[in-house]
Amino acid sequence: MSEVNLGRVQGGGIFYSTASSGTSIAKSTLTPTGLAPLVGDCVVFPNGDLRKITAVSGTNVTCGSVSANFKGDKGDTGTTSSIVKTAAEWESQNPVLGAGVFGYDSTNKIIKAGDGTTAWKTLPILLSTDFSFEKASWSDIAALSESGSADKYFSVGDEKTISLTTGEQVTLVILGFDHDDLTGGGKAGMTIGMKNLLATTYRMNATATNEGGWDESEMRTSTMATLLSQLPSDLQGVIKQVNKKATAGGASTSITTSADKLWLLAEVEVDGTTSAGYADEGEQYEYWKTVKDGTVAADRRKYLSNGSGSAGGWWLRSPSVSYSANFRAFTSTGYVNYYNANYTRGVSFGFCV
């Protein structure tokens, strides 16, 4: 297998060597294999030594002096140069590392550097080679999102599966970065949504009306609140409130803005529609431009029970601007349609961290 760099930043990688700690080692001793080592990357040796690569030539790499050692004790202060814990230990203990103390997450293979004041969960990631959206804790995801660097570690379309408190599995996908407006000002670093549909179908309102639009719908005021409470507590704790737009209902094209933590997509956020009223409800997500083609019906098909069930129609938060009884939705075959608000259809929610 030939070596690749995957467009990564020089000096951002960690390799593991089976060789004894030293300044000259063979590339063949390094893992992950297939990834080309770069100057500035780090190598961890069997005895716990961490050295930075200073030169790469042919089949060998040259390393500098020992920067840290990961065989230290598991204390949380500045009494050792490095601390090793599992992801679960870091998550539950959330210690403050002493200034200059390295913390190593042996589950996700990430390194953070302490500053003496910041708790582990909010420290930025210093180095990583085996870190993904699927494996990362929600606290780490939120920290990267808030720092504006999430797109350096994750990509649009990356997936992560969670369990609701009901036991239902839900696969999430990254829809975009720096897309949605935070209610308190600025941009939310990441927008995430469901890949498929929940097992249960829901109605938009108890009766066939879209009066009050998304803002006053049963789906927003009741169902979304219930679903939010079913998310894992660590995820609930990092979800950001954002402004979501929708037409006002009653066949109006005027726009109402709601402050939401959990919400349904608008039509424009999927297919980029230019139709009057609907086009003002937001902007198309990158996911629906590059991972899926939101203008193609087949790409808009979603399936009940997190993909294991049959194809189902799914609600959008967009009230019809032609009829006062309906909300827009995609059919089970992926076409745009509208249904009476008291019909039940699939739910695929989104949120920001």
Per residue in 311-326, is it b (16+ CB within 10 Å) or e — as a string? bbbbbbbbbbbeebbb
Question: Per residue of the chain (353 residues), what is the pLDDT tens digit?
Answer: 444 444 444 456 788 888 998 999 999 998 877 678 888 888 888 777 888 999 999 899 999 988 776 654 444 444 456 788 888 899 899 999 888 788 888 887 888 888 889 999 888 887 766 678 998 889 889 988 998 889 988 999 999 999 999 999 999 999 999 999 999 999 999 999 999 999 999 999 999 999 999 999 999 999 999 999 999 999 999 999 999 999 999 999 999 999 999 999 999 999 999 999 999 999 999 999 999 999 999 999 999 999 999 999 999 999 999 999 999 999 999 999 999 999 999 999 999 99
Residue 72 pairs in a beta bridge with: none
Q: How many CB atoms lie within 10 A of CB 169?
A: 13
Rounded CA separation 219/193 (Å): 16
Q: What residue ranges do the domains of the chain occupy?
A: 14-68, 190-352
The closest of 42, 33, 232 to 126, measured between CA atoms, is 42
CB proximity list for 275: less than 8 A, separation 6 or greater: none
Query: Which amino acid is it at 324?
Result: S
CA Rg value for the chain: 24
Per residue in 269-288, is it b (16+ CB within 10 Å) or e — as a string? bbbbbeeebbeebbebbbbb
pTM recorded for the entire structure: 0.71
In the three-class reduction of DSSP (H, G, I as helix; E, B as strand; rest coil), residue 76 is classed as coil
